[in-house]
Structure 1
Amino acid sequence: MKDPKDKKLELGRYIGMKVKKARRNGGLKLVDVARISGISQGMVSKIENAQVSTSLETLDRLCSAIGLSISQLFSDYDRPDGDAHFTKSNQGLEVVQRGTEKGQIYQLLSYKHATIEPFIITLTDTSETTTTFSHSGDEFIYLISGKLVYRHGNSLFEMEPGDSLTFNGEIPHGPESLVETPIKLLSVISAQEDS
């Protein structure tokens, strides 16, 4: 657990950094800010270097002098770090799925969030077709290249690049025929969470 004193130091450094950046971006010198704000040049310097805590009133005067609103001052403070998962092109983890035995190549694009499984699926002229895939949750597919006929239950969809399809994964589905290969499609499966 962080010491509350550390948080104050972080806040002071953050304020100092934002104030200094805004002052420099505005082409202002310390002496200019001191004159406009009525705050001593030494105090402005101490605020910028996180050597002193300041009142909100002083901070408001300082921000007005450098053309920075209080809301802009704190716009990035305490922003969460985030937990995004980045995958470079063609660097997805190759995984074994039911279609693998049919010559279909599956690259898992992210494994960070368990509620979705995004894949790039590649089909070539040697890949076999099968329409018996089924799984829990919904699936979204987006055709990147090639052409195919995709079956979902009793419905057939002639898909060209840019076409997409969203469906219930429990109903049997899959490529009915490969019209123009190679085929690349993005498949995103939303896994059902146990309640």
Structure 2
Amino acid sequence: MMDQNRTEEFSLDQYIGMVVKKARVEQGLKITDVARISNISQGMISKIENAQVSTSLETLNRLCNAIGLSISTLFTDYNRPEGSAQFTKAGEGLEVVRRGTDKGHNYQLLTYQRGGKKNFEAFLITMDDLAEVFPTFSHPGQEFVYLLSGRLQYRHGNHLYEMSAGDSLTFDAEVPHGPEQLYDVPLQLLSIINYSE
């Protein structure tokens, strides 16, 4: 199909023309072939492909059937929101300093938003020292932690949780929390903090 980032530059007729022509060419069909199969004149097909005419749905449906393109597929990318996503490749998160940095924790911020109020932050935290003493953390928001590898004991308030790879916790981040003891290292923890109220 077409590049979805370009569809908004074209009128509906231009978009239809480009998609129909592309599908016809991909099928190895000539305009004469499509005209014979669809019972639409060659001139009309040429005008549709060159956005020189607006056609009825009936004609468009016959044309699409002749080139093996469904009407729903024809309009798949038309007027689709451009979208934007922040992609972070493995190991390329923004290294940031947090309270645990001086204890040997490595924090990679996996998503960030410039300016304005943040809705959430996502961190990949790596810890590798069995003997370290851990700080406790307290901050606004709800936090979700997911243990990717290793084993540890995690504190939230007065509760201790024995966590293995694949375990997760969700909690009020204003209550003091953090690793209490590491059992298997290196350890990787995904932490997502949601600030929305």
Q: Shorter-normalised TM-score: what interval?
A: 0.7 to 0.9
* Structural mapping, 1:9-158, within 5 Å: 9-112=10-113, 114-125=118-129, 128-130=132-134, 132-158=136-162
TM-score normalised over the length of structure 1: 0.84
> Is the Cα–Cα contact under 8 Å of residues 136 and 192 in structure 1 kept in the other structure?
no
Q: Once the two structures are aligned, what percentage of the paired residues are identical?
A: 64
1:54 partner SS: coil
Number of aligned residue pairs: 187
Which residue is 2:4 aligned to? none
Query: Aligned equivalents of 1:14 and 1:92: distance in 2?
Result: 38
- Structure 1 segments of 4 or more deviating over 6 A? none
CA shift in 2, pair 1:115/1:175, >3 Å? same
Query: Alignment partner of 1:98: what SS?
Result: coil
TM-score when normalising by structure 2: 0.84
**Bigger Cα displacement from structure 2, 28-37 vs 115-124:** 28-37
Amino acid at match of 1:150: Y
Cα distance, 1:160 vs. partner? 1.3
Query: 8 Å contact 1:103–1:127 — kept in the other structure?
Result: no
Question: What are structure 1's unaligned runs of at least 5 residues?
Answer: 1-6
Task: State the distance in 1 between where 2:9 and 2:124 align.
Answer: 46
What is the Cα-based RMSD across aligned positions, in Å? 2.2
Please tell me the residue identity of whatever aligns with 1:41. Q
**Helix, strand or coil at the partner of 1:16:** helix
Give how far 1:56 is off. 2.9
Counterpart in the other structure of 1:174: 178
